[in-house]
Structure 1
Amino acid sequence: MRPIDPLPRLLQEFFYSHMLEQRNLSAHTVRSYRDTWRLFLRFSATRRKRSVATLVLGDLTAAMAGAFLQQCEQERKVTVGTRNCRLAALHSFFSFVAEREPIYAAQCAEVLRIPTKREAIRAPFYLEPDEVDAIMLQPDRTRLEGLRDHALLCFLYNTGARIQEALDVSPQRIRFDPPSYVRLIGKGKKERICPLWPETVLVLKALLKRQPRADNDPIFVNRYGVPLGASGVRYKLAQYVQAAAKTVPTLSLKRVSPHSFRHAAAVHLVAAGVDVTVIRSWLGHVSLDTTNHYAQANLATKRAALERLEPASKRKRPPRWKRDNDLLAWLDSL
């Protein structure tokens, strides 16, 4: 009798036992890994000229994984960051397999040796306050859909939340009475508290008045009461940005996504003089290095810092150390 290949069993154990039960990873991470493996298995089946159901673990070699990552970049046109996320999903599975199936250790080691790719770090763009205002003015707040979109944009800018963090928010996580705040659940299921502006509280109250939600139900839903998805938000935002670009032309030169509001919040907090450690807590980062990537000082902040430096040519008096005779005498004695 032909031995049963362990690939189907290992995949099931990896997703159900390892990721969900043992590591208790978020649903977003599980979906990301699932999508990677769906693509990888289809790619491997096409290369092997067989169906996905007939693939065996021995088919999933390091060469196959490398070809898959190359196809992701060249044909699917994904970014280096997305390519590295795909690789992380492959690494995680083969590390899991190496612990449970020692006979495949060499094959797993080859896959695990595939390195992540370095990406050129460009200066991040940010939305200026007038650009943020122009986008927020676009939703028609006389309609329920427009009121919902306006509330969501205000919430994203106020809190600097990731899009899925915002879409998961329910009424029970918000304190509407002063001092108002919201409890956000971020990456790694870490909770943080963000203050809410009175204006944000007002639009959220208006939305819940027109479309009441149970305490534990998501606030941002469609007309049928189904929670919004990130892709739907991106589609609507693109329409608002296109309309706002007619009054603020600089928006036509920028690629705006829901994450742009997170970056704008960080930049504008820096401009307001907020300490970077506070911004780290605001955005929910573990490391200050991550915060520094988002919290870039804008040109106005840099210009103000430059103006505080008095050029030597404009000084009317010599430096203090040159005016201190005792100090000069001490220096001469050295």
Structure 2
Amino acid sequence: MQKPTDFSYTLTKFLTHYLAGLCNFSDNTIRSYRDTFKLLLTFCNEEIGISAESLTFNDVTPELIEKFLNWLKTKRGSSISTCNQRLAAIHAFFRYAQYEHPELAVRCQQILFLKFAKVAQKEVRYLSIDGIKILLDSPDIHTAKGRRELAILSLLYDSAARVQEIVDLKVGDVRLISPATVRLTGKGKKSRTVPLLKGNVQILSAYMNDQQHYLTTKDSYLFFNHSHQKMTRAGVGYILKKNVDVARQSHPDLIPKQVTPHCLRHSKAMHLLQGGVNLIYIRDFLGHVDVKTTQIYARADVTLKRKAIEAANVVETPQPLRSWTDDDDLMRWLVNLGKF
């Protein structure tokens, strides 16, 4: 039996012990890192001719990583953002590997020096407050199914939650008595508690009353599908698209054709900003680590930009100059001048 290489042994420890145990990363993050190395091993096998069981740290050079990133773009059609995500996963692994194998520190740091490609800042897409109201009016609240859809959509918007945070919610995460709150678990399994407004409390109460036979313990998932299994991100996307299509029929000017769950998160952030809420609070509300991430909303709001520019304006609009023919004193002087 072939002995595992230093690369395969370290990669296994990184994925199974370091990320899951010590870092406590979410399943989605670990899955993303795993997929990066599945692609890297596929590239090495198909393009370089080095099988997974033969790959060593000596084979993984900065040049090989650059070729891998180019392969992702040209052969697999990956976007620049996706390639940067793959490089971030590779950086994380080699940052870990240099401590596991100090003798490879130079090689690891050479790969850590590989820079991310520049990405054009994407436009932040969000709905107006009127658009949100129309969307939330779309579910049929006379049915239990419609009340479930409204509970999901209203909570998705009002808490500015990521879609994964919504599907991971359990009954014990929701507090409906005053002060009403919901506990969201985000990236890196970091939790934050956000307030629930009165309207959302009423909507959630109606939904939970409908489903009381299934929401029996604090560990029961708050939202589930028709098979009473945990709701998936795709399931939330389906519910959103269904109601977006209904809303667009009457208000195509306010509801774009494509609205993603993250668009509702953007919408809440923009509405908070437009309402005068401080960026630091919005950062904490969204669960951002750095306020720089939150600043994309300030840069995106054209109305706020204009107000800020107008407030800082010190240049007065000049009054139009009078025509010289309207100056009576000047005209009399010119007339008298002609008499001399």
TM-score category (smaller protein): 0.7 to 0.9
What's the C-alpha RMSD, in Å, of the aligned pairs? 3.0
Q: Equivalents in 2 of 1:53, 1:2: separation in Å? A: 8
| CA-CA distance at 1:12 after TM superposition | 1.6
Aligned equivalent of 1:230: 233
Residues 40 and 238 (structure 1 numbering): CA distance in 2 closer, same or farther, change over 3 Å? farther
Aligned equivalent of 1:113: 113
Aligned equivalent of 2:331: none
| CA-CA distance at 1:145 after TM superposition | 4.2
| CA-CA distance at 1:310 after TM superposition | 9.6
Aligned equivalent of 2:316: 312
Q: Equivalents in 2 of 1:35, 1:144: separation in Å? A: 39
| CA-CA distance at 1:302 after TM superposition | 5.1
Q: Equivalents in 2 of 1:99, 1:54: separation in Å? A: 22
Q: Equivalents in 2 of 1:77, 1:4: separation in Å? A: 32
Q: Equivalents in 2 of 1:220, 1:31: separation in Å? A: 23
Q: Equivalents in 2 of 1:206, 1:55: separation in Å? A: 57
Compare 139-148 and 64-73 and name the one that shifted more: 139-148
Q: Equivalents in 1 of 2:155, 2:262: separation in Å? A: 12
| CA-CA distance at 1:33 after TM superposition | 1.0
Q: Equivalents in 1 of 2:293, 2:64: separation in Å? A: 33
Give the counterpart letter for 1:174 in structure 2.
V
Give the counterpart letter for 1:195 in structure 2.
P
The question of 1:282 aligning with 2:285 is answered yes
Q: Equivalents in 2 of 1:79, 1:64: separation in Å? A: 19
Structure 2 unmatched runs, 5+: 320-340
Aligned equivalent of 2:266: 263
> Any idea what SS the aligned residue of 1:245 has?
helix
Identity %: 33
Q: Equivalents in 2 of 1:118, 1:311: separation in Å? A: 37
The question of 1:29 aligning with 2:2 is answered no
The question of 1:43 aligning with 2:43 is answered yes
| CA-CA distance at 1:258 after TM superposition | 1.0
- Deviation digits for residues 153-207 of structure 1 (CA, Å, limit 9, x no counterpart): 1011111111112222212122101221112223333332211122211221222
Asked if 2 retains the 8 angstrom alpha-carbon contact of 1:245 and 1:252, the reply is: yes
Q: Equivalents in 1 of 2:149, 2:44: separation in Å? A: 41
Q: Equivalents in 2 of 1:53, 1:28: separation in Å? A: 26
Give the counterpart letter for 2:197 in structure 1.
W
The question of 1:182 aligning with 2:182 is answered yes
Q: Equivalents in 1 of 2:52, 2:253: separation in Å? A: 48
Give the counterpart letter for 1:191 in structure 2.
S
Aligned equivalent of 1:294: 297
Q: Equivalents in 2 of 1:219, 1:206: separation in Å? A: 13
> Any idea what SS the aligned residue of 2:156 has?
helix
Q: Equivalents in 1 of 2:56, 2:314: separation in Å? A: 70
- Deviation digits for residues 238-266 of structure 1 (CA, Å, limit 9, x no counterpart): 34333432322246756421111111111
TM-score, structure 1 as length reference: 0.81
Between the two proteins, the alignment pairs up a number of residues equal to 315
> Any idea what SS the aligned residue of 2:249 has?
coil
- Deviation digits for residues 120-157 of structure 1 (CA, Å, limit 9, x no counterpart): 12442321122222333333445544432321110111
Give the counterpart letter for 1:93 in structure 2.
F
Give the counterpart letter for 1:15 in structure 2.
L
- Deviation digits for residues 206-259 of structure 1 (CA, Å, limit 9, x no counterpart): 222222322122212111222222233234423433343232224675642111
> Any idea what SS the aligned residue of 1:246 has?
helix
| CA-CA distance at 1:292 after TM superposition | 1.5
Compare 245-254 and 304-313 and name the one that shifted more: 304-313
Within 5 Å, give how 1:120-135 maps onto structure 2.
Answer: 120-135=120-135
Aligned equivalent of 1:195: 195
Within 5 Å, give how 1:45-64 maps onto structure 2.
Answer: 45-49=45-49, 52-64=52-64
| CA-CA distance at 1:108 after TM superposition | 2.7
Residues 206 and 68 (structure 1 numbering): CA distance in 2 closer, same or farther, change over 3 Å? farther
TM-score, structure 2 as length reference: 0.80
Residues 300 and 146 (structure 1 numbering): CA distance in 2 closer, same or farther, change over 3 Å? same
Asked if 2 retains the 8 angstrom alpha-carbon contact of 1:266 and 1:296, the reply is: no
Q: Equivalents in 2 of 1:140, 1:46: separation in Å? A: 53
Bigger radius of gyration among the two: 2
| CA-CA distance at 1:314 after TM superposition | 9.3
Asked if 2 retains the 8 angstrom alpha-carbon contact of 1:36 and 1:89, the reply is: yes
Aligned equivalent of 1:167: 167
